[in-house]
Structure 1
Amino acid sequence: MSIELSAPEAEKLKPRLAVLGVGGGGGNVLRTMIKCGLTGVDLYSVNTDAQALEENILQENTTRIQIGSQITRGLGAGADPKIGKKAAQESAEEIKDHLRGINMIFISACMGGGTGTGAAPIIAQIAKEMGILTVGVVTTPWRFDGTKKMKMAEEGVKELSKCVDTLIVVPNENVFRVANIETNFNECNEIINRTLYDGVSAISSLIVQKGRINIDFADVKTVMAFVGKATFGVGKSSGENRSVMAAEMSISNPMLDEVNLRDAQGLLISITASTEITLVEMDSAVRAVKDQIHNQDCEIITGLFEDDDLGDEIIVSTVATGMTNETGGEDKIVNLEESPILDQKNDQTTDESESANDAIRSVELEVRQIPPETPRKDENYRGIEENDLDVSVDKEMEVDEDQDANLNENITEPEEWENDDGVPLFKSDRFDNIDDDDLDSQLEIPAFQRKKNN
């Protein structure tokens, strides 16, 4: 009797990743990801609106899931998150069928609407119960969308944060940091959607690609499971000091709210370059990121991927998780109450300092386009030299002397000073006939009594 042993096919051993675009906004994000060339993941478009599902231009291998057909009749959620929630609950079994066999999902949605806001947390909860590593990558509304929509988005983000392993929030308002007065609205939306793509790609590519120093699914799961804020970034650079420049760019994503990497608990660093990359360059890139972290117990996982088509260019991607709020408490999401996208009035005096901070954060700074160590130069500015200082000081002294001379000419002697009635204020013989003893005795008498005696 012989026993034949066979190893499972390598393809079956690979982890399955999926991206779910929930709602109309999530479908648009999914379309951008397809346009940008996202590969190695299953794509799902989830919506209550049957017409939107049909009209959205997607790849043939994209699965369309219509939820809540009994509740919405395929007409959408009508900007009501409660309808979106009930729709996902109605189609829970269908959602489970599509998620079976998947190891990691990215849920993409635009918070503030009906389907995305209401259904995304339910889908995330279903995935978590199935043991799937779940990452949320969502946006929050524009300021001009109004307070009501912002409040709905805030509630949606809070609910979603309870159901995912990691949640990354991209405020729409942050596009003002990179756009200019000539950037049209469609281009701004593409910038936002591209940011969501970068977040998904930065994580999924680590698992899909095979590297010289490999990062597997278990490594990603370890880092993504840390509780707290999460952030990501991609930096590209070439030429001198390229590794440090790319690393610094990867931890300063202008589309994300600023976070403090100091307390990060997990860190993924991916370096992609040609085979000519040196050990010193790799070490410099990793150090540039690690220097921002003070947590000695931070789980740091580094991967190296080779691509000779990049030439002199180097790409550094970072994903940091498990960061705490500046106030000390832990939070998986960007604190919307401290975000510049909120513009709510509060009459309580205890919130005055927060309002002041909001005003400060609302000031947008120009994105620096040159290396930090390169000073800005103006060819028309020659600087201040020592001779210039001497000349300016001499001129100031001459002016002061002229002003003193004019002032002295206009000042009369005290004997000539008079009051409004023409009575002299000072007389040279005023105190001539009063000796010191008489003066002392007069000073001991109250003023009104001295006047009466005289």
Structure 2
Amino acid sequence: MNRRKLFQLLGMLGAWTALPAQAQAVNAEVLGALPRDLANDCENRMPGQSTTLPRIGVISVGGAGCNMVTRCLDMLSNLSGTLEINAHAARYPKGFKNAPWANDTILIGEGCEKLSSRQVARAMALEHVAAIEAAVKRFDLVFIVAGLGGATGTGIAPLVAEIAKRAGVFTLCFVSTPPEFEGENRAKTALRGLSELRKHTNSVFVVNLDRLLERADKNMMLDEFFALADQMLLTLYHPINVAIFGCGVVDCDYRDLKHVLTQPGDAAMGSATAEGENRLMQATIAAINHPLLGRDALARSRGVLVSIRSHAGDLTFVETKKILNIVRTIAPIEADMVYIAHSEDALGESLEVSILATGVRNIDSTNET
């Protein structure tokens, strides 16, 4: 949407708000929920409006978490800092040492290459509580990224979440669970770690690698498969980042975003891109049926964040309404839903729909598409 069309639409919305309450109700029923923050463009903040924005930090724990953040770091915009917690030397590229954010590393176990159990990892991490707390307190919102099933991520990520919660920091966790071929012991360890994380975080987004394999081609290379998991981290991070920093065509209020992300229960997400005449339906249905989301999980959610991305000027108001209506027909009527719409020229003629569902009841029995 170009700026002229945006102002025309804003004028229409202004006229709508001037209608009597009864007429507003009729129009709202026809048009659906109108965006409250359409004019909240980063160039159009009201005089005197606070420009204080949350400080975002990413904390990677263990080998899997640190590897994932390393691969994604240059795509995680608006960071205030990062913290790596591991049992061996820092993995972040040297090029990031001069980045405009602080890169901190805490080595657990005096440089051990591998910790023996999650209990041992947690015990060793307790010796660094002061350093972890000092790093966490620099942020208002943190993403904790870890792989569950091993010692370091499973043992230390819950402790970091506990410290963040105690410090009053809004905490989101992004964790992966081990594939079935890694054995029952790692699966049980991962479930114990996940149970501990749930006690201390606002939302836990779980990447089940077995379900993610459903999207993998049988000839897919190993690094390509890991890229699928990386993409899910970006699927979580990007909409939240855009919602907070408010430079989209439609943004949502940070308080509304926090409300959606703090619904009690688990969290799930799906994302898809499509192009062509039927791109709207294809992208939306594919995002809903994503192996890490699924209709059942969406139907059991208490909160929903919908992110819509397209080339600048390539998304109509009717398309937006149709996407949200499709999601609303599956999500519970009482679920709180917010959405953002923003442009991305790199998408060309494609449309991307991402859906974050929170407060999901009994997520372990969902995701069946």
TM-score (norm 2): 0.78
CA distance in structure 1 between the partners assigned to 2:95 and 2:186 by the alignment: 28
Listed one character per residue, the Cα deviations across residues 186-234 of structure 1 (whole Å, up to 9, x for unaligned) are 3322322332332222333322341222223212101001011211222
CA distance in structure 2 between the partners assigned to 1:267 and 1:183 by the alignment: 31
- Is 1:283–2:293 an aligned residue pair? no
Of the candidates 170, 176, 181, which is equivalent to residue 144 of structure 1?
Answer: 181
Q: Which has the higher strand share?
A: 2
- Is 1:49–2:87 an aligned residue pair? yes
- Is 1:244–2:284 an aligned residue pair? no
Structure-2 residue corresponding to 1:226: 263
Helix, strand or coil: the match of 2:125?
helix
CA distance in structure 1 between the partners assigned to 2:366 and 2:279 by the alignment: 33
Of the candidates 203, 212, 216, which is equivalent to residue 175 of structure 1?
Answer: 212
Q: Which amino acid aligns with 2:321?
A: D
Change (3 A) 1:307 1:169: closer
Point out the more displaced range, 237-246 or 250-259: 250-259
CA distance in structure 2 between the partners assigned to 1:275 and 1:121 by the alignment: 43
CA distance in structure 1 between the partners assigned to 2:227 and 2:343 by the alignment: 29
TM-score (norm 1): 0.64
- Is 1:65–2:102 an aligned residue pair? no
| Alpha-carbon contact 2:242-2:251 (below 8 Å) kept | no
- Is 1:201–2:238 an aligned residue pair? yes
Shift of 1:26: 0.7
- Is 1:34–2:91 an aligned residue pair? no
| Alpha-carbon contact 1:22-1:120 (below 8 Å) kept | yes
Change (3 A) 1:81 1:257: farther
Structure-2 residue corresponding to 1:371: none
Provide structure 2 residue ranges, at least 5 long, that are not aligned to the other structure.
Answer: 1-46
| Alpha-carbon contact 2:82-2:103 (below 8 Å) kept | yes
Change (3 A) 1:196 1:275: same
Shift of 1:307: 4.2
Helix, strand or coil: the match of 2:146?
strand
Of the candidates 11, 14, 18, which is equivalent to residue 53 of structure 2?
Answer: 14
Q: How does 1:2-401 map to 2 (within 5 A)?
A: 10=51, 13-35=52-74, 37-51=75-89, 53=90, 59-60=96-97, 61=99, 63-68=103-108, 72-255=109-292, 259-273=296-310, 274-293=312-331, 295-307=332-344, 310-325=347-362, 334-335=363-364
CA distance in structure 2 between the partners assigned to 1:146 and 1:309 by the alignment: 41
CA distance in structure 2 between the partners assigned to 1:102 and 1:66 by the alignment: 17
CA distance in structure 2 between the partners assigned to 1:155 and 1:130 by the alignment: 24
Change (3 A) 1:8 1:101: farther
Change (3 A) 1:21 1:175: same
Helix, strand or coil: the match of 1:65?
strand
Listed one character per residue, the Cα deviations across residues 236-275 of structure 1 (whole Å, up to 9, x for unaligned) are 2222132232222222222457743223211112222322
CA distance in structure 2 between the partners assigned to 1:186 and 1:304 by the alignment: 31
Q: Which amino acid aligns with 1:64?
A: D
CA distance in structure 2 between the partners assigned to 1:184 and 1:118 by the alignment: 30
Shift of 1:158: 0.8
Shift of 1:7: 6.7
Structure-2 residue corresponding to 1:428: none
CA distance in structure 2 between the partners assigned to 1:184 and 1:172 by the alignment: 15
Shift of 1:162: 1.0
CA distance in structure 1 between the partners assigned to 2:93 and 2:136 by the alignment: 22
Give the count of matched residue pairs. Answer: 319
Helix, strand or coil: the match of 1:120?
helix
Structure-1 residue corresponding to 2:7: none
Change (3 A) 1:276 1:111: closer
CA distance in structure 2 between the partners assigned to 1:212 and 1:191 by the alignment: 27
Q: Which amino acid aligns with 1:292?
A: I
Structure-1 residue corresponding to 2:35: none
Change (3 A) 1:75 1:164: same
CA distance in structure 1 between the partners assigned to 2:116 and 2:294 by the alignment: 26
Q: Which amino acid aligns with 2:84?
A: V
Change (3 A) 1:47 1:142: same
Shift of 1:96: 1.4
Q: How does 1:396-411 map to 2 (within 5 A)?
A: none
CA distance in structure 2 between the partners assigned to 1:183 and 1:309 by the alignment: 24
Shift of 1:310: 3.9
CA distance in structure 1 between the partners assigned to 2:48 and 2:321 by the alignment: 38
CA distance in structure 2 between the partners assigned to 1:73 and 1:119 by the alignment: 15
Change (3 A) 1:320 1:54: closer
Q: Which amino acid aligns with 1:41?
A: L
| Alpha-carbon contact 2:67-2:91 (below 8 Å) kept | no
